[in-house]
Structure 1
Amino acid sequence: MSDWKVICRIDDIPVLGARRVTRPAGLDVAVFRNSEDQVFALLDRCPHKGGPLSQGIVFGTSVACPLHNWAIGLDDGCAKAPDEGCTPKFAVKVEDGVVHLDAAELATHAIDLERPSAGPKPFAVLSVLPLE
């Protein structure tokens, strides 16, 4: 039996949009609502370059990553072909207009993943040798 955590009312999630749920450990979880009032939850991290999926555009049962427009399935967290990769998904329950997420998943699921840092990767510092 799951312990469900109340997140918000379904009306608090914009149609074709998302809300972010902050966790004590790990990355945020994005909770999405499509035009049919279906609710989905994914780690707020695109599997491609780590873009914030909560800032993407929802269409049907997918979200477009705001960085490179990859289409990510809201039902499974996986990129649509020809792209590849998946982001973790979270169990969602909606009862009487209230959105719930599985409390155990929020506390433990994908807490070891990190958001990539923006900007160029640091390069190695080379030692300068004196000229002879």
Structure 2
Amino acid sequence: MAQPAEKAFGVTHIKSYIPLVLDMQKMNYDAWRELFETHCLSFSVSGHLDGTSVPATPQDTAWKEHDGLVKMWIYGTISPSLLDTVLKSRCTACELWVTIENLFRDNKEARAIQLENEL
């Protein structure tokens, strides 16, 4: 029987597992994050989100493959405009995860002020 981390490569339609599309306009970060973290935990790749999984060597191909897979899951569940904002070459899944978190956490206060002004 394949290990959960290896079974992760069998996930071909990430939207079947994470049906939400993360979008700055919808402000659905908390729900998206919960689904995404649960999914990664189920497939034993959550260390790629929190930074506890690190390559054994600079050439650790297996680690790079898993990290790339997690990045593809993230890219596959965010809006095109958000993808344009966060897409950068040679970042790790953890760096991408933190970038997205900072966008939404930093934006929360600005969004609250905007909504208050609209009222």
Asked if Structure 1 and Structure 2 have the same fold, meaning a TM-score greater than 0.5 normalized by the shorter chain, the answer is no
TM-score w.r.t. the length of structure 2 is 0.23
Larger radius of gyration: 1
Structure with the bigger RCO (C-alpha within 8 Å, sep 6+) is: 2
Bigger share in strand: 1
Q: Which has the higher helix share?
A: 2
